[in-house]
Amino acid sequence: MAPRHVLRCCQRSLSWIPVIFINLVVGWSYYAYVVELCILTIPNNAEKISYLVVFHLFFIMFIWSYWKTICSRPANPSKEFCLPNVEKEQYEKEEHPDTQQEILKKVVVGLPVYTRTGTGAVRYCDRCLVIKPDRCHHCSTCDMCVLKMDHHCPWVNNCVGFSNYKFFVLFLAYSMLYCAFIAATVLQYFIKFWTIVTFLISALIVCLPLILCLKLCRWRSVGDCPQNQLPDTHAKFHVLFLFFVAAMFFISILSLFSYHLWLVGKNRTTIEAFRAPVFRNGPDKNGFSLGFSRNMAEVFGDQKKYWMFPIYTSNGDGNSFVTRLVNLDPEQIAVGLQINGKSSVDCPASPKHVLGDTVNHIEDHQDGSFDKTDVAETVTVTIESES
């Protein structure tokens, strides 16, 4: 038992190496830009002040969203998704998978769970001992079930899911703007430094050392060194590497940020993009898509004034999600009626699952019509049989 515990501690310690690396790079970039470029290199005070103001704005938002992504604990399924004690004992004693599924199906009737495994079974985590809510997956690195899990990111040493997905997207956005601003403002000084470097390299390539020596001697003697060069200090190397690092990170982050913007617009996670969620009527890659504006609100919230700030504004609780069904599922209607108290059968669901949440899971389609005059009071459901 002790070796496994030690191994786990070592694994957790090593998992912080990417985070430390990112913070070291960011710390060096701050020093190189503020001290070496703005304070020691740029002669114009107006340009220096304007660069520092905008730089610190992007820097603060970048660090804020980055550490919010790191420090936000992944959201776990609520207690209502745990098996009751009686069903739990029956499930553990039962050895046949089919009988175990029957036990799970009885429990899941009162829960807002509409997705299944690829074989149509109820999604159950044998490690966390919970019925998995929609879009919930078990992270082997964090060793827990994470609501609306997107992926486990080593650069933040955390699972990206329902609790911090907005922070992660903002982290990508501000890190991209941070790198873009550095690369754009450093470019002119990078070119000034690169001029003398390319001159020296080209002279060596064409084997003209004599001309090079004469030219350098003339500069030193006459004092007419070109004005487009940086001061002869170590700031040159900081500027050179700062531009390359910023440009490299900008290109890599741009592709990742664009991909996650596409996911937000489609209301998908990275897992769902590679493997479509399976509903009772089959897989549907657009099962959770509600239109671009509502998809954006799912992640960033309804109040747009808070979208750009790394504060929690996402809609919902992560345990249930509105779905867009391609085909009507009568079982979902039955569950909704039971939850609302319209059925004479007792329902073990939690009282907080009102029909308003369930009605949103059902859309009109060719085989049935759904007329909703007052969600809280009256629901009329008509199902036409196929002729």
Region 184-209: mean pLDDT is 65
Q: Please, what is the Cα angle at 211 between 208 and 217, to 5 degrees?
A: 140
pLDDT tens figures, 272-302: 999 999 998 889 999 999 999 999 999 999 9
Tell me, what's the pLDDT at 361? 42
Tell me, what's the pLDDT at 235? 72
**Residue 9, pLDDT above cutoff 90:** no
Tell me, what's the pLDDT at 280? 82
Q: Where does residue 332 rank: exposed (0-12), middle (13-18), buried (19+ CB within 10 A)?
A: buried
Q: 210: helix, coil or strand?
A: helix
Q: Are 37 and 243 in contact (CB under 8 A)?
A: no
**Residue 220, pLDDT above cutoff 70:** no
Residues 6 or more apart in contact with residue 150 via CB below 8 angstroms: 160, 161, 165, 168, 263, 269, 270, 271
Active site annotation includes 38:
no
* Active-site residue, selected from the candidate residues 10, 153, 179, 213: 153
Residues 6 or more apart in contact with residue 146 via CB below 8 angstroms: 74, 75, 76, 136, 137, 138, 139, 159, 161, 162
**Residue 336, pLDDT above cutoff 50:** no
Task: Tell me what percent of the residues of the chain surpass a pLDDT of 90.
Answer: 55
Confidence grade of residue 229 (pLDDT, cut at 50, 70, 90): very low
Tell me, what's the pLDDT at 366? 37
Q: Distance (Å, rounded) from C-alpha 216 to C-alpha 199? A: 11
Tell me, what's the pLDDT at 384? 39
Q: Note the pTM of the prediction, 2 decimals.
A: 0.77
**Residue 221, pLDDT above cutoff 80:** no
Tell me, what's the pLDDT at 379? 36
SS3 labels along 248-265:
HHHHHHHHHHHHHHHHHH
Nearest of 317, 1, 288 to residue 147 by alpha carbon? 317
At 230, which helix (H) or strand (E)? none
Residue that has been written with the tokens 């004599």 in this structure: 210
Tell me, what's the pLDDT at 339? 39
Region 131-153: mean pLDDT is 94
pLDDT tens figures, 253-278: 999 999 999 999 999 999 999 999 99
Confidence grade of residue 195 (pLDDT, cut at 50, 70, 90): low
Q: Are 266 and 276 in contact (CB under 8 A)?
A: no
Confidence grade of residue 374 (pLDDT, cut at 50, 70, 90): very low
Region 178-202: mean pLDDT is 77
Confidence grade of residue 226 (pLDDT, cut at 50, 70, 90): very low
Confidence grade of residue 198 (pLDDT, cut at 50, 70, 90): low
Tell me, what's the pLDDT at 77? 95
Q: Are 114 and 122 in contact (CB under 8 A)?
A: no
**Residue 249, pLDDT above cutoff 70:** yes
